[in-house]
Amino acid sequence: MPKKHSNVTIFKFRVIMDTEHDVFRDIEIETTATFEELHRALLDAFDFEEGEMASFYMSNETWEKGLEIPLMDMRIGEGASANSMSNTTLGEMVTNPADKVLYVFDFLRMWIFYIELIEVKKDMPSTIYPRVALVYGDAPSQDSKEMDLFGDATGGDEMDEFGGNEPGDDEDGDDPFSDADQFDENDFDGSYTQGEDY
């Protein structure tokens, strides 16, 4: 159960789900929270269940994959102390508004979320964090996307781009990291629901 701490700094993230329709959540969380806590907050916000592998990737303006922060560090022996969600805090990696992070959940279904820091602020009295501050759109069910058991169902561009290769081999030419499929604030009609505390 989250506990209330006073006088702390809060990150407000906009988390956009890579879906055909605009679906996003604004999540507020303490800067001292770990990426594992953000991982759980994301799953709660989109009604997904734990039990699948996941990773965060530090990113840039063009949503390129950078440093990986995995759910578990799979390495053994020397170097086993590398970053993982449980030992890396948000404040270590994210500092300024507009900083971007990619989140991938379930490596067979490849659910991708685009995370952008939109505000750094002080906590509100009597508020428990993490919390969903804004909800827009209905998230698809976790198992609505087909599994990619043979490595080809997600499309060439998605796998190429995510693997660091140049996109362009997919038949329809879609680039999952292009801004064209992202939430367009000009189209946003202001309709949303306020989120509830966790």
* 43-58 confidence digits (pLDDT tens): 999 999 998 999 999 9
Give 80-107 pLDDT, tens digit per residue. 557 899 999 999 999 999 999 999 999 9
Answer whether 31's CB lies under 8 Å from 9's CB.
yes
Would the pLDDT of 176 be above 60?
no
Q: Is residue 63 part of a domain?
A: yes
Q: Is residue 34 part of a domain?
A: yes
d(C-alpha 29, C-alpha 13), whole Å = 8
Give 21-36 pLDDT, tens digit per residue. 999 999 999 999 999 9
> Looking at the 3D structure of the chain, how many domains does it have?
1
In which domain, by residue range, is 28 found? 9-72+81-142
Q: How confident is the model at residue 19 (pLDDT cuts 50, 70, 90)?
A: very high
pTM confidence score: 0.71
Q: Is residue 112 part of a domain?
A: yes
The continuous run of DSSP H or E covering 112 comes out as: strand 111-122
CATH code where residue 87 lies:
3.10.290.30
Q: Is residue 183 part of a domain?
A: no
